[in-house]
């Protein structure tokens, strides 16, 4: 028996330390609920768990992103619901005033409502936004710009227009229909005589010129007549030699010193002028002519298929609007600028960039996004900016124009509905993926509380036994004292 080294006590202490170390780890797992609290617990498991945690966090954020996207789409679709309602109202009014029971005054009153509806559609296009992102003005469509805005400006692009460079050449400018007259016989202070009484008919709309009407009364009647059909009445002063002086102010209400010009407000061959009078003496008195300079549409061409367009692309023009169409719904709309054809270089290279659409990050990793595009839906892009219900002919044409606009809005709303349905499925899929990934993470990282508690109980008992044995081992040197005492 030895007293310098208590080997049994050292052995008991060693075992007790091992038990306490295991017990400490078990208590740490029980208190944290995690099987892996540091890299030493399970180095490979920790690495896998961190990757899974990254994915779980990303999936949860992607889920929130998708729900934000649904909110954005609902905002845009809600605004288009009102645009649809306004277009339906415009069409209803167009059908209403196409009826022959309405006179010019009635149609002008109806057209005032149409103008307000057009303004509201423009306002919605300009100002509807989500988190300060404009939704309906083309801001979340593909970015496109011409290298020469003196030739064309871009109105809208369809979804199937691919990024690239597109070259278009304007070969002729659009013009307005005009009727130009010369000086008449009624001067300031003069009045319509018996021989000059009659009716003036402009594009089917009539005004009655009565005996005794003064020059200013007649001018106002003609101006209102022009306004009804969507034209301007322009007066130029005579330079003294029988020719109009375009640089000086018009001397109105003096037909003897004025050149009157009826000019359509809009460009193109669609907008025509037709002037007639029941009395030739009336035409002479006012200096009016029935000779019409018809309006023309702008002309444009694609020079070659190397200019970005395919061999099947076609160009059509209406007024100063140029439309290039192709298969699969390809459509690019441009506004030709006046004077473009006279430029030394009347060609514009239009750059369409792979940028601009709204990218929704709907996945946890790079590149996992969906693209949302909403084209420009202003009255100009819808083609309703030039409708005029002040005449029966204009009301008839407006029916077809508004039908096309309604179909366009229906198509966009359908696309938005498809986006929303996709995102709702995305949200459901992300939720399931996050749930399954979290379950996998839990199996690796979380502690089995029942097993850990069983181990804790076992190690706790062993630790208590170790303490007891250490105490017994420390008592053994006391037995040597009995030997020494004899």
As a whole number of Å, the CA-based R_g of the chain is 43
Interval 358-400: pLDDT, tens: 999 999 999 999 999 999 999 999 999 999 998 888 899 999 9
Beta bridge partners of 130: 133
**What pLDDT is stored for residue 245 in this prediction?**
61
d(CA 398, CA 387): 6
Length of the chain (residues): 486
**Can you list the alpha helix ranges (DSSP code H) found in 322-378?**
none
Residue 104: its pLDDT value, please?
A: 83
Contacts (Cβ under 8 Å, ≥6 apart) of 16: 463, 466, 467, 470
**Chain position carrying tokens 């946890």:** 364
Q: Judging by DSSP bridges, how do beta strands 152-157 and 244-245 pair with one another?
A: unpaired
Q: How far is CA 164 from CA 7, 74, 151, 314, in A?
A: 87, 31, 19, 18
Bridge partners, residue 369, by sequence: 361
pLDDT for the residue 249: 53
Q: What is the pLDDT of residue 336?
A: 94
d(CA 296, CA 87): 28
Stretches where the chain sits below pLDDT 70 are 1-3, 239-253, 304-306, 486
pLDDT at 2: 67
Pick from 177, 174, 175: which is nearest to 292 by CA? 177
Q: 């037909």: which residue's tokens?
A: 255
The confidence score (pLDDT) of residue 409 equals 96
Q: Quick check: helix, strand or coil at residue 220? A: helix
Q: Which helix (H) or strand (E) holds 407?
A: helix 392-445
Residue 317 CA to chain centroid, in angstroms? 24
pTM given for the model: 0.81
Q: Is 2 helix (H, G, I), strand (E, B) or coil?
A: coil
- What are the DSSP E strand ranges found in 375-427? none
Instruction: In the chain, list all ranges with CATH 1.20.1330.10.
Output: 34-141+361-446
Q: Label residues 132-171 b or e (16+ Cβ within 10 Å = b).
A: eeebbbbebbbbbebeeeebbebbbbbbebeeeebbbbbe
| 152-210 confidence digits (pLDDT tens) | 999 999 888 989 999 999 999 999 999 998 888 887 778 899 999 999 999 988 999 99
34-141+361-446: which CATH topology? f41 fragment of flagellin, N-terminal domain (1.20.1330)
């Amino acid at each position: 028996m030895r007293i310098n080294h208590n080997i049994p006590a050292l052995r008991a202490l060693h075992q007790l330390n091992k038990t306490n170390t295991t017990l400490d780890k078990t208590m740490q797992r029980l208190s944290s609920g995690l099987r892996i609290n540091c890299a030493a617990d399970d180095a490979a498991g920790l690495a896998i768990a961190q990757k899974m945690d990254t994915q779980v966090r990303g999936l949860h954020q992607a889920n929130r992103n998708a729900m934000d996207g649904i909110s954005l789409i609902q905002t845009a679709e809600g605004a288009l619901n009102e645009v649809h309602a306004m277009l339906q109202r415009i069409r209803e009014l167009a059908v209403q005033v196409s009826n022959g029971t309405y006179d010019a005054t009635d149609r002008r009153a109806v057209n005032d409502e149409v103008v307000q509806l057009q303004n509201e559609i423009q306002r919605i296009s300009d100002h509807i936004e989500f988190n300060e992102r404009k939704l309906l003005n083309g801001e979340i469509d593909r970015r496109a710009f011409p290298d020469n805005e003196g030739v064309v400006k871009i109105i809208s692009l369809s979804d199937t227009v691919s990024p690239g460079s597109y070259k278009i050449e304007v070969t002729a400018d659009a013009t307005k229909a005009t009727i130009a007259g010369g000086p008449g016989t009624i001067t300031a202070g003069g009045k319509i005589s018996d021989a000059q009484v009659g009716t003036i008919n402009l594009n089917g709309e009539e005004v009655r010129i009565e005996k005794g009407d003064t020059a200013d009364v007649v001018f106002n009647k003609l101006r209102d007549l022009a306004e009804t059909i969507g034209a301007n009445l322009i007066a130029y002063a005579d330079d003294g030699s029988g020719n109009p002086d375009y640089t000086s102010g018009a001397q109105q209400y003096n037909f003897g010193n004025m050149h009157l010009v009826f000019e359509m407000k809009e460009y193109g061959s669609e907008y025509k002028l037709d002037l007639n009078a029941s009395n030739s003496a009336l035409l002479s008195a006012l200096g009016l002519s029935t000779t019409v300079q018809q309006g023309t549409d702008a002309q444009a061409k694609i020079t070659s298929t190397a200019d970005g367009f395919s061999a099947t692309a076609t160009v059509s023009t209406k007024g100063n609007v140029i439309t290039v169409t192709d298969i699969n719904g390809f459509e690019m709309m441009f506004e030709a600028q006046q004077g473009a054809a006279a430029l030394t270089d009347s060609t514009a290279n239009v750059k369409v960039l792979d940028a601009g659409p709204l990218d929704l990050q709907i996945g946890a990793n790079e590149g996992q996004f969906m693209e949302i595009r909403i084209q420009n839906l202003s009255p100009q892009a819808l083609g309703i900016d030039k409708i005029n219900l002040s005449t029966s002919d204009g009301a008839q044409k407006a029916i077809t124009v508004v039908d096309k606009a309604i179909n366009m809005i229906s198509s966009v709303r359908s696309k938005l509905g498809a986006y929303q349905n996709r995102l709702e499925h995305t949200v459901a899929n992300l939720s399931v993926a996050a749930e399954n990934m979290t379950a996998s993470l839990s199996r690796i990282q979380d502690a089995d509380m029942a097993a850990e508690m069983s181990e804790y109980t076992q190690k706790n008992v062993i630790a208590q036994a170790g303490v007891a044995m250490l105490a017994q081992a420390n008592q053994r040197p006391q037995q040597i004292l009995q030997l020494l005492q004899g």
